[in-house]
Amino acid sequence: MHMKPVYSVVIPCYNEQEVIAESYRRLSGVMRGMGESYELIFVNDGSRDGTAALLNELAQGDECVKVLHFAANRGHQIAVTAGLDYALGSAVVIIDADLQDPPELIPEMAALWKEGAQVVYGQRKSRSGESYFKLKTAELYYKLIQRLTGGFIPRDTGDFRLVDEQVADVVRGMPEHARFLRGMFAWAGFRQVPLLYDRDKRFAGQTHYPLKKMLKLAADGVLSFSDKPLKLPLWLGLCWLAAGAVTLLVLLILLILGRPGGLWWLAALGMLGFGSVLTALGVAGSYLARVYDEAKQRPLYVVAETRGFDSENSEEPVDD
């Protein structure tokens, strides 16, 4: 039976046995209260604790619950991707299992969606239970990524969001392996609106985002959406070349005036040599950036709506 629900909720879970029962309770309470059809898609990202058994039990007792079990841990972004791929809903909600994102906000997101928003992203106005270190590094990181990507990725925004199926389809069609979903959704475009919220503490258990995974995610964000780092040597190299050229010029003038310059000639040569190597690296980086861009195989453009083409009704966008 393939009933298309109005809402799909995607919940990635990795070793979350302490929180599953409570997240299911709060999520299904909220979803039932909304009075429309829904499915809860739990993605078990290769958990090694009791998560799998708990999820299977839930699926047995509630036909709205669907479970994907990964054969091995693939990480949060991939787990969410899988949930997104299996989601049938007209709107897809992405939410963490640990109740840091309050399920009670889903009706507000849905209301904004019904008013025409196609992406409603949770934007944190506060975060409780996070260390000073995490808050500071997050702040710096958002500044960095805004700088490097021209600001299209919103700050203080994680993966907690509701997206229209049209936007979900765009992201489903982006086959890149290094996935920074918040960036991919932002890249898709469409009408995006923030919903400000206070991020809660984890309900139980502990984070599965140790510093190492966090750094990888941070790096993916920069590397998937900016080629500036690859081109940096080009500008540095050109600066060194210019400095070398100026030094050389000054030395030549001094030579004409009868002053030999001594070891400065060596310095000028060094600058020119160093500058050429860096420039060459930057040029190679520029080609690599192109190769990378092609390799990502992102769609070239995303059409939100068409008018006046054959077999289409000019009033409403047609989806198939």
Residue ranges binding ligand UDP (CB under 6 A): 12-14, 16, 45, 73, 75-76, 79, 96-98, 100, 207-209
Name the percent of the chain in helix, strand, coil, to the closest 5: 50, 15, 35
For position 192 contacting Mg ion by CB under 5 A, the verdict is no
Least Å distance, CB 207 to Mg ion, is 6
> Which one, of 110, 109, 1, 8, lies nearest residue 65 by Cα?
8
For position 15 contacting Mg ion by CB under 5 A, the verdict is no
For position 8 contacting Mg ion by CB under 5 A, the verdict is no
3-state secondary structure of 39: strand
For position 165 contacting Mg ion by CB under 5 A, the verdict is no
Q: Which of residues 95-124 bind Mg ion (CB under 5 A)?
A: 98, 100
Q: Are 75 and 210 in contact (CB under 8 A)?
A: no
Q: Which stretch binds Mg ion (CB under 5 A): 18-26, 90-98, 105-113, 150-158?
A: 90-98
- In order, the DSSP letters of 98-133 are TSSS-GGGHHHHHHHHHTT-SEEEEEEEEETT--HH
Strand partners, 11: 42
Question: What's the CA angle centered on 275, arms 271 and 280, to 5 degrees?
Answer: 155
Please, which residue, 14 or 113, has the CB nearer to ligand UDP?
14
Please, which residue, 98 or 164, has the CB nearer to Mg ion?
98
Please, which residue, 199 or 298, has the CB nearer to ligand UDP?
199
208 binds, among ligand UDP, Mg ion, none (CB under 5 to 8 A by kind): ligand UDP
Measured CA to CA, the distance from residue 205 to residue 21 in angstroms comes to: 13
Please, which residue, 60 or 207, has the CB nearer to ligand UDP?
207
Least Å distance, CB 91 to ligand UDP, is 20
159 binds, among Mg ion, ligand UDP, none (CB under 5 to 8 A by kind): none
Measured CA to CA, the distance from residue 274 to residue 46 in angstroms comes to: 49
Please, which residue, 99 or 167, has the CB nearer to ligand UDP?
99
| Alpha-carbon dihedral sign for residues 236, 237, 240, 245 | negative
Residues that bind Mg ion (CB under 5 A): 98, 100
